[in-house]
Structure 1
Amino acid sequence: MDLAALKYAKTHEWVAIEGDVATVGITDFAVQLLSDLVYIDLPKPGKALKVGESCGEVESVKAVSDVYAPLAGVVTETNPSLGDNTEPLSSDPFGNGWLIKMKVSDLSGLEQLLDRASYEKHCESEAH
């Protein structure tokens, strides 16, 4: 996956767009912060999401963190390989570790998201 082609939310979700379908996951930075992932809870297909709405949880031995919808739309698919196995999320967050696919209702929301360089600067400022 070309990380420069993705869009990023300040809440550490990434988005890959193909037409009006967005694939959403959490970033490598989020995975490192959480470490030792043990459980993931994702929305059911058909669920309508608003920008910024919690659409799942990722649980680590340290904490439970919400996953937020970076765009508005309807969930069309969740990653079947993440049921009881968080390993793909830890080892390949931008590939096999994707979380949901959604049909985006408003593509203008992409303008609110960050490119990779801006996201990395945001992470640096959060780390201090």
Structure 2
Amino acid sequence: MPRYFTEDHEWVDVDGDTGTVGISDYAQGQLGDIVFVDLPEEGKELTKGDDAAVVESVKAASDVYSPVSGTVIEANGDLGDTPNLVNDDAEGDGWFFKLTLSDTSELDGLMDESAYEAFVAKL
């Protein structure tokens, strides 16, 4: 399953026309201990770059932007009770939401894993 990254440190795994979105391990490390995650509701229409979620840590609150356009089909309900899943496994069990992609050509503007690693290395 291909994974793409944004310069704002969101990632999206693509499986057919479904994307699973979260924040990168780098981003959770910068935020520190995650204490709350506000996720989009099922059925919400998102355009690439829209504010999709909010993640709050002991350091700050930060917006999470949708890396692609689509309709939210599921939010990770586990984050309500255990937001620290984002710290423990940001690029796995700590995913934020899933959406049906409305324009797969938007993926062309995102970085693959090696490009993202090179991007983060320069920060």
Confirm or deny a common fold (TM above 0.5). Answer: yes
Q: How far, CA to CA, are the matches of 1:64 and 1:88 in structure 2?
A: 17
Please name the residue that 1:80 is paired with: 77
Identity score, percent: 43
1:21 alignment partner, one of 14, 18, 22: 18
CA RMSD, aligned part only?
Answer: 1.1
Please name the residue that 1:42 is paired with: 39
Superposed CA deviations along residues 58-82 of structure 1, whole A, max 9, x for unmatched, are 0011111100000000000000110
Q: Secondary structure at the match of 1:83?
A: helix
2:64 alignment partner, one of 64, 67, 77: 67
Q: Give the number of aligned pairs.
A: 123
Displacement over 6 Å in runs of 4+: none
Q: How far, CA to CA, are the matches of 1:124 and 1:67 in structure 2?
A: 21
Shift of 1:41: 0.4
Q: How far, CA to CA, are the matches of 2:16 and 2:109 in structure 1?
A: 18
Amino acid at match of 1:85: T
Unaligned runs of 5+ in 1: none
